[in-house]
Amino acid sequence: MHRYETAFAAEAAAALDLPIDNIQGHVRVPEPERGDFSLPCFPFAKALGQPPVKIAQTLTEKLSQSQRFAVAAAGPYVNATIHPEALLATLIPEVRQLGDRFATSDTGQGQTVIIDYSSPNIAKPLGFHHLRSTMIGNALTRILGALGYTVKGLNFLGDWGKTFGLLAAIYQRKGQRDRLEKEGIAYLLELYVEANREREANPSFDDIARALFKRMEDGDTDALELWQLFRDISLKEFQRVYTRLNVSFDHYEGESDYRDGMDALIETISATAGTRIDQGALVVDMPYGENEPPMMLKKSDGATLYATRDIAAAKDRWQRYAFAKSIYVVGGEQKRHFEQLKRALDAMGDAWQERMVHVSFGRVHGMSTRKGNVVFLEEVLDEAVERAREKMTAESSGRDIDIDKVSEEVGIGGIVFGDLKNLRTSDYNFDWEDILNTKGFSGICVQYAHARCSSILHRAGGAPGIDAYDPSLLVAPEEVALVKEIGRLPAAVLAAAEGFEPSRLARAVYEVARAWNRYQQAGNADKTLRILAEDDALRTARLALVDAARIALKQGLLLLGVAAPEAM
Ligand code: ARG
């Protein structure tokens, strides 16, 4: 849609008699109800010597005859909607020509973006609560990549700290190597629970754990060997789940990578921002809000913390990548941590901290066991796949599909889409009914639409040639509506990237599916609207539209990290 955005900027520039470069950077993608583009008029008030509201009115009047856009003033803004005729003539061939490059661009070329996501703590299975960071981060990785940014996905494991002394202590006492090898992370979790029990019953156990972690910190090979074992086992299991989710990282890193430079870092902090002792702990000396707990670098027992290591990691990322943005996809409960991280770096003179963004997200309710324990992510995925299998088995009777593969794609896609469709910062309620609801705002609804488009094209013997298309034959309102929704996808990709908000894309791709469903239903009710029409030219035009819809649906799903099966 970039083309339309530029065209709109050009028309506005001509109407206002300003250079297009002054306009283009201000064009925004508004909420869909407002149109396809929006132009705020504040930036031109000075140059034109008029109040923004007046400029918006003038612009609206001047553009009222536009061939391409319908415009309306809304206070100091001008909102523009692309005329369907313009879309019908050009968009369908354009989408088909672009194929899997549809909705991509090179906006981000030459800029590197770091995305820290998923980043679980080791020695515990991935919980359902890890889904959000993992999938929002994955979607942003794909979306920013599609816009031409060089994206580096980092999984920053929580793999250092006293916990691992505790785990090693209990393992040395009663660990069984064969069980560890066989049961993996589930056994580590069991040991962890036991270690905590032991610690409550016997306070001296804590000292043993601390001493063991100290040995790890000092580089003791035996102690580190155990730690490495726990880490390897954890990583192997995480990777199995990531594979199912179709998520991959450029680098696995971890807090442990920064364990050695701590003293030097603390010296740097003391020499720049400054440090002070607060209740026995070493903290960053910088401005704090009222009642705000200070940022701790070292506890009274000398141990460094998550925050200390995150400062080191942030600096290292800047050194390695000179990033345009460094994104942390982490839950809202760490809001203060990231605020303090940025403030501390700023106090150290690291002005690039402005490029760091905490992409926070809300909680998921309705997904914990009766005892309030965490639910394992894999259990939820398994259940989703099982439910999908039942549904697919019931609905696909006799059709030739790979039920194992499709159940996996639909079940997991349902969970992922069900998460990403929610506004990132809001909490949401997990509800099994929503996940596989073919009639609602769901992954399966979009996947079905995509599969239907594919199967119609298949039945028609393939998609028609791009040049054989006559746009004047597509006149039904359902056809125009579908084209419009397809045309909105690129802007939704941009909006998703700008706001770090995959839900913008989830909504847009769902609207394509919905418009598709309406079109198809219209064809079922009214013979003259059948896609596979008798008339050759008409059938060709409609199949071209179906092909464009297929491309848009597939691209939307893939950028969200949801599979797009061709048959289901
Ligand atoms: N391991 C942390 C946790 O589970 C999240 C780490 C996020 N990334 C970071 N650089 N702080 O809470």
Q: What is the pLDDT along the chain (568 residues), one digit of tens a residue?
A: 456 778 888 899 889 998 888 898 899 888 878 888 899 999 999 999 999 999 999 999 999 988 889 999 999 999 999 888 888 888 999 999 999 999 999 989 999 999 999 999 999 999 999 999 999 999 999 999 999 999 999 999 999 998 999 999 999 999 999 999 999 999 999 999 999 999 999 989 999 999 999 999 999 999 999 999 999 999 999 999 999 999 999 999 999 999 999 999 999 999 999 999 999 999 999 999 999 999 999 999 888 899 999 999 999 999 999 999 999 999 999 999 999 999 999 999 999 999 999 999 999 998 876 666 779 999 999 999 999 999 998 887 667 789 999 999 999 999 999 999 999 999 999 999 999 999 999 999 999 999 999 999 999 999 999 999 999 999 898 999 999 899 889 989 999 999 999 999 999 999 999 999 999 999 999 999 999 999 999 999 999 999 999 999 999 999 999 999 999 9
Partners of residue 38 on adjacent β-strands: 28, 79
Amino acid letter, residue 258: Y
Amino acid letter, residue 384: A
Q: Is the CB of 238 under 6 A from ligand 1?
A: no
Domain that includes residue 63, residue range:
2-82
Q: How far is the CA of 117 from the centre of ligand 1 (A)?
A: 8
Number of separate domains in the chain? 3
pTM recorded for the entire structure = 0.91
Q: What is the DSSP string of 404-434?
A: HHHHHHHHHHHHHHHHHTS-TTS-EE--HHH
Shortest-distance Cα residue to atom 11 of ligand 1:
310
Task: Determine the residue of 119, 238, 338 to mutate for testing ligand 1's pocket, defined as the one with the most ligand atoms within 8 A of the Cβ atom.
Answer: 119
How far is residue 163's CA from residue 169's CA, in Å, rounded to a whole number?
10
Determine how many CB atoms are found less than 10 A away from the CB of residue 451. Answer: 21
Look at residue 2 in the predicted model and tell me its pLDDT. 59
Shortest-distance Cα residue to atom 3 of ligand 1:
120
Q: Is the CB of 159 under 6 A from ligand 1?
A: no
Examine the fold and report which residue of 209, 233, 248 is the final residue of a domain before the chain moves on: 248
In a domain, 278, yes or no: no
Examine the fold and report which residue of 44, 66, 82 is the final residue of a domain before the chain moves on: 82
Nearest to 140 by CA among 108, 163, 170: 108
Statement to judge: residues 49 and 179 lie in one domain: no
Atom of ligand 1 at shortest distance to CA of 338?
11
Strands 150-157, 251-254: pairing is parallel
Atom of ligand 1 at shortest distance to CA of 341?
11
Q: Is the CB of 121 under 6 A from ligand 1?
A: yes
Q: Which helix (H) or strand (E) holds 165?
A: helix 162-174
Q: Please, are residues 195 and 171 in contact by the beta-carbon 8 Å criterion?
A: no
Look at residue 369 in the predicted model and tell me its pLDDT. 65
Q: Which two tokens stand for residue 168?
A: 């090693």
Look at residue 397 in the predicted model and tell me its pLDDT. 65
Question: Long-range contacts made by residues 341-345, C-beta under 8 angstroms, separation at least 24?
Answer: 341/295, 341/307, 341/310, 341/311, 341/314, 343/286, 343/287, 343/295, 344/269, 344/273, 344/284, 344/286, 344/295, 344/311, 345/311, 345/314, 345/315
Statement to judge: residues 542 and 393 lie in one domain: yes
Shortest-distance Cα residue to atom 4 of ligand 1:
120
In a domain, 100, yes or no: no
How far is residue 455's CA from residue 458's CA, in Å, rounded to a whole number?
5
* CA-to-CA separations, 32 to 80, 92, 287, 521, in angstroms, rounded: 11, 20, 41, 24
How far is residue 422's CA from residue 560's CA, in Å, rounded to a whole number?
13
Q: How far is the CA of 328 from the centre of ligand 1 (A)?
A: 8
How far is residue 66's CA from residue 75's CA, in Å, rounded to a whole number?
20
Nearest to 235 by CA among 119, 116, 378: 119
Examine the fold and report which residue of 220, 248, 276 is the final residue of a domain before the chain moves on: 248
Q: Is the CB of 158 under 6 A from ligand 1?
A: yes
In a domain, 522, yes or no: yes
Statement to judge: residues 172 and 70 lie in one domain: no
How far is residue 473's CA from residue 479's CA, in Å, rounded to a whole number?
10
Greatest distance between any 2 Cα atoms in the chain:
86
Partners of residue 77 on adjacent β-strands: 40, 74
Nearest to 506 by CA among 440, 462, 457, 451: 440
In a domain, 413, yes or no: yes
Would you say the C-alpha torsion 257, 260, 264, 270 has a positive or negative sign? positive
What counts of helices (H) and strands (E) characterise the chain? Answer: 21, 13
Is 75 exposed, middle or buried, given 0-12, 13-18 or 19+ CB atoms closer than 10 A?
A: exposed
In a domain, 221, yes or no: yes
Amino acid letter, residue 450: H
Q: How far is the CA of 388 from the centre of ligand 1 (A)?
A: 32
In a domain, 164, yes or no: yes
In a domain, 67, yes or no: yes
In a domain, 101, yes or no: no
Statement to judge: residues 462 and 548 lie in one domain: yes
Shortest-distance Cα residue to atom 5 of ligand 1:
119
How far is residue 206's CA from residue 422's CA, in Å, rounded to a whole number?
42
Look at residue 1 in the predicted model and tell me its pLDDT. 47
Judged by DSSP in three states, 401 sits in coil
Atom of ligand 1 at shortest distance to CA of 314?
10
How far is residue 370's CA from residue 357's CA, in Å, rounded to a whole number?
35
Angle at 107 between CA 417 and CA 82, to 5 degrees: 75
Q: How far is the CA of 155 from the centre of ligand 1 (A)?
A: 9
Q: Is the CB of 205 under 6 A from ligand 1?
A: no
Statement to judge: residues 200 and 53 lie in one domain: no
Statement to judge: residues 62 and 193 lie in one domain: no
Shortest-distance Cα residue to atom 7 of ligand 1:
119
Q: How far is the CA of 147 from the centre of ligand 1 (A)?
A: 26
